[in-house]
Every structure is written in structure tokens, then in C-alpha cells.
Amino acid sequence: MRRHITVRTVEREALYDITEAVKASLADSGIRDGICSLYVRGATASLMIQENWDDSVPRDVVRMMAQIAPRGVWEHDKQDGNGDSHLKAGLVGPSETIPFIDGELGLSRWQNIFLCEFDGPRERREIVVTLIGDTNG
């Protein structure tokens, strides 16, 4: 089963919590046990499972990535000024796979799913949610 989640981003670089949207996709599916595969479309965004306790961790991720891949120093910047965005997205990666058990995502209490925007703002970031599993549980 496939679903799509669309996110509007409002900053150049930020993490957006998409956990509730993924849970809604799972609930709508009727699937009880299986695997949830998430994939963000686009070369300058990624997905990350990270701590959800407060917003300091997402801010720290953005700050760390800026230190690893600073803006304005890459060859690709000559084309469209977002060389750092491509590198950051490549480091984090476009996908996550999460098991689900008895209709619930297999995340720990402190984990949520984040869309990592590295080249915003964007009117539309699309995450493909693929659910593979059993409705009988």
C-alpha cells in the first residue's frame, strides 16, 4: 500500500516532525504488522529518526550540518548556490524503514521521524510512504 505525505517548509534549513502524518497513514491502511518504508523525493531533502523530547536536537542537527558542509564553498554553487544542500541531503539519506507491530510504529518513546529540509523554503516536499504487511496481525 502506498500513501503520500506533503510538507510545506518555511525555512532554508530545518527539521519537520512528520511522525503523526506517518501514524495516520498506518492507521488508515488497516495493516497491523509489517514494515513502513519512507522516501523523500528531491535531491536536497532527507529523512531522519531522531530524539523528540525538545527542539534543541533538530536545531543541533542543522548547526552540525552547517559545520560539516558550509554554504558557498562548493563547486556546485556556481550552478544554483545550493551545493551544501545536496551534500547534507546525501549525508543523511532520503529514506527510513520502520517496523510496525500491532498497528503501531516501532519507534521508542524518544524517537520521531523528521523531514530534513536543506534547501527551502519549499511549497511542497513529498514523502512516499510504502506499507508492507499483514492485516490479520
Full pLDDT tens readout for the chain, 137 residues: 999 999 999 999 999 999 999 999 999 999 999 999 999 999 999 999 999 898 899 999 999 999 999 999 999 999 999 999 999 999 999 999 999 999 999 999 999 999 999 999 999 999 999 999 987 75
In the chain, count H helices and then E strands: 4, 8
2-134: CATH topology = Jelly Rolls (2.60.120)
Cβ burial, residue 27 (10 Å; 0-12/13-18/19+): exposed
Residues ≥6 apart with Cβ < 8 Å to 17: 52, 112, 113, 114
Please name which of 4, 49, 35, 18 lies closest in space to residue 131, comparing C-alpha atoms.
35
Domain boundaries, the chain: 2-134
The alpha carbon torsion through 99, 36, 104, 107 (nearest 10 deg) reads 60
Between CA 57 and CA 77 the distance in angstroms is 28
